[in-house]
Homo-oligomer: A and B are copies of this chain.
Amino acid sequence: MPQQAAGARRAPLNRERVLRAAVALADRAGIDALSMRNLAQELDVVPMALYKHVANKEELLDGMVDTVVGEIEPPTAGADWKSAIRRRVLSARRALLGHPWASRVIESRTSPTPAVLDYLNSIIGTFRAGGFSVDLTHQVMHALGSRMWGFTQELFPAAPSVDPQAQAATFAAMAARYPHILEMAMAGSHRDESIVGGGCDDQAEFEFALDLLLDGFERLHRQGWTLPRA
A208 within 8 A of partner (CB): yes
The stretch of A10-18, A43-51, A135-143 that contacts the partner chain: A135-143
Complex interface: chain B residues within 8 A of A188 (CB): 134-135, 138
Which listed residue, B120, B158, B181, B187, touches A117 by the CB 8 Å rule? B181
Q: How far is the CA of A178 from the CA of B120 in the complex (A)?
A: 9
Q: How far is the CA of A225 from the CA of B159 in the complex (A)?
A: 28
Chain B: minimal CB distance from A173 (Å) = 11
A20 within 8 A of partner (CB): no
The answer to whether B208 touches A142, judged by C-beta atoms less than 8 angstroms apart, is yes
The answer to whether A107 touches B153, judged by C-beta atoms less than 8 angstroms apart, is yes
Q: Please give me the residue from chain B that is nearest to A227 by CB atom.
A: B204
Complex interface: chain B residues within 8 A of A139 (CB): 205, 208-209
Which listed residue, B110, B117, B187, B217, touches A138 by the CB 8 Å rule? B187
The answer to whether B141 touches A179, judged by C-beta atoms less than 8 angstroms apart, is no
Which listed residue, B134, B153, B179, touches A184 by the CB 8 Å rule? B134
Q: How far is the CA of A139 from the CA of B212 in the complex (A)?
A: 10
The answer to whether A178 touches B117, judged by C-beta atoms less than 8 angstroms apart, is yes
Complex interface: chain B residues within 8 A of A118 (CB): 178
Interface size class on chain A is 35 or more
Chain B: minimal CB distance from A189 (Å) = 9
The answer to whether A125 touches B180, judged by C-beta atoms less than 8 angstroms apart, is yes
A124 within 8 A of partner (CB): yes
Q: How far is the CA of A206 from the CA of B139 in the complex (A)?
A: 9
Q: How far is the CA of A121 from the CA of B143 in the complex (A)?
A: 25
The answer to whether A157 touches B112, judged by C-beta atoms less than 8 angstroms apart, is yes
A192 within 8 A of partner (CB): no
Which listed residue, B121, B142, B156, B212, touches A180 by the CB 8 Å rule? B121
Complex interface: chain B residues within 8 A of A143 (CB): 205, 208-209, 212-213
Chain B: minimal CB distance from A223 (Å) = 12
Binding site for B on A (CB under 8 A): 104, 107-112, 117-118, 120-122, 124-125, 128, 134-135, 137-139, 141-143, 145-147, 152-160, 174, 177-181, 183-184, 187-188, 196, 200, 205-206, 208-209, 212-213, 215-217, 220
